[in-house]
Homo-oligomer: A and B are copies of this chain.
Amino acid sequence: MKQYLESNKQRFLDELFDLLRIPSVSADSAFKNDVRRAAEFLRDKLTAAGLDKAALHETAGHPVVYAEKMVDPAKPTVLIYGHYDVQPADPYELWHTPPFEPTIRNERIYARGACDDKGQVYMHVKAVEAMLATDGLPCNVKVMIEGEEEVGSDHLGEFVAANREMLKADVILISDTSIIANDVPSLEMGLRGLSYVEVEVTGANRDLHSGVYGGAVANPINVLCEMIASMKDADGHITIPGFYDNVLELSAEERAEMAKAPFDLDEYKRDLDIAEVAGEAGYTTNERTSIRPTLDVNGIWGGYIGEGAKTVLPSKAFAKISMRLVPNQTDAEITELFSNHFNAIAPPSVKVAVRPHHGGLPYVTPTDSIEFEAASLAMEESWGKKPIPTRGGGSIPIVALFERELGLKSILMGFGLDIDALHSPNESYGLFNFYKGIETIPLFFKHYAALKANQ
């Protein structure tokens, strides 16, 4: 195996580069054909790796790539999940090299999707190829790679529900998360959920002259700012009534355990070039990004935003707002609370609309399960040290759906780093991490098969 990985190193990277060159931006319909090309690329590589039934499964949105290799019905089955779509790359002008022309600098691959999730998903394709080409598969494997993760996996639920038999497995393995550092392996035991909405505030029925009407007619931008500002109090608590009702508070012991993870606040601030962190009073930075819910404006626009000055009192203002959720909040509940609250606090001088974009449930993996232990042993074997269990701040909404629809737990064995700049200009993925993943994934298969056999 080691020999195979070593001698195919350059080819693995070349193939990933080919995948990264395809601008598979699922959020923007202008890239629809490119999204499909990325799916076809993976289908062909899965076939070449030796998997069966590699095909595109159509959905009402972008297709799902599926392939499998059933080696022995007596062996457990690992269902690998990932996504081939990427976030929009704008603002393009902030990229040092073009987002869809992958480049290596300082031992890192720079490209949109380098880590999230093309780089991480391609580790699995190559790991399965390597197992099939050398010692064989210790477990059956199924691979499901979707094209709508970055836009809320709108059609994966239908696909999963319609293909329960095909997707039957014992565990789901996902690499779409991070480790603490290249010399500090970690394994995510939880993810935050997500409620993502778009809001619209309308004042007058047309843009007005701010001199003629200013002072007497509600300015939807000012109103939107006031509404957003009012949704947090001075302590950073979210003021939406009922927002925290279902939040699972961790015990002092659990928080003490979390606090053991290495973290350097000065380095964190230096890396981001900020004088102070900011967040909910009473919680540490790591707690704020994992066990506590948030409310962030992801985008805002209204009025004149071109060059120079325009004295307009605009008719409309908009914002994209997302809330990260923690157990046991649900996105359905929070989206409704938000919507009701936003309507309730709107002053009579404006009209408002709330449009839900997408959501996802928070998730926690039991650390005492065979699945978690197999992943922990795999990382321990490849790193030479035990991984630290962590709670992640991001969301992979589909994980809760898998549990509901397929009755399966997901193992979040990701290999990224916080510096990878996911969703940002100059996203990157370390060569170390790419190859470490390809090395570690077969070890998960090995340990999982062994633990299941001894169960």
Contact = CB atoms under 8 A, between A and B. Distances in A.
Contacts of A363: none
A15 B323 CA distance: 57
B309 A422 contact: no
B308 A349 contact: no
Given A212-B418, A215-B288, A232-B222, A296 B309 contact: no
A297 interface: yes
A215 B292 contact: yes
Contact of A422 (B212, B277, B294): B212
Interface in A54-87: 87
B211 A393 contact: yes
Contacts of A87: 310
Contacts of A432: none
A140 interface: no
A395 B214 CA distance: 11
A27 B306 contact: yes
Interface centre among A210, A293, A294, A322 (most CB of B within 10 A): A210
Contacts of A393: 211-215
A152 interface: yes
Interface stretch (A34-42, A201-209, A243-251): A201-209
Contact of A289 (B26, B215, B302, B357): B215
Copies in the complex: 2
Interface in A186-213: 192, 194, 196, 198, 203-213
Given A211-B324, A217-B274, A299 B305 contact: yes
Interface in A400-432: 418, 421-426
Contacts of A151: 308-309
A161 interface: no
Interface string A162-201: 0000000000000000100000000000001010101000
Given A196-B311, A324-B214, A347 B303 contact: no
Contact of A219 (B273, B296, B309, B358): B296
Contacts of A285: 216
A120 B230 CA distance: 44
A234 B218 CA distance: 13
Contacts of A178: 212
Interface in A272-295: 272-280, 285-286, 288-289, 292-295
Interface centre among A178, A279, A305 (most CB of B within 10 A): A305
Interface stretch (A97-105, A312-320, A438-446): A312-320
A225 interface: yes
28 contacts: A87-B310, A94-B206, A150-B310, A192-B211, A204-B274, A205-B274, A208-B423, A209-B421, A210-B423, A211-B392, A211-B393, A211-B394, A211-B395, A212-B392, A213-B272, A214-B289, A215-B294, A217-B274, A222-B229, A222-B232, A225-B297, A226-B228, A298-B304, A298-B311, A299-B305, A300-B302, A301-B302, A309-B320
Interface of A: 26-29, 87-88, 90, 94, 150-152, 178, 192, 194, 196, 198, 203-219, 221-222, 224-226, 228-230, 232, 272-280, 285-286, 288-289, 292-314, 317-320, 322, 324, 347-351, 357-358, 392-395, 418, 421-426
Given A219-B296, A275-B349, A300-B300, 15 more contacts: A88-B304, A90-B306, A94-B206, A194-B211, A206-B425, A211-B395, A212-B392, A215-B393, A216-B289, A217-B277, A218-B276, A221-B300, A229-B230, A278-B347, A299-B303
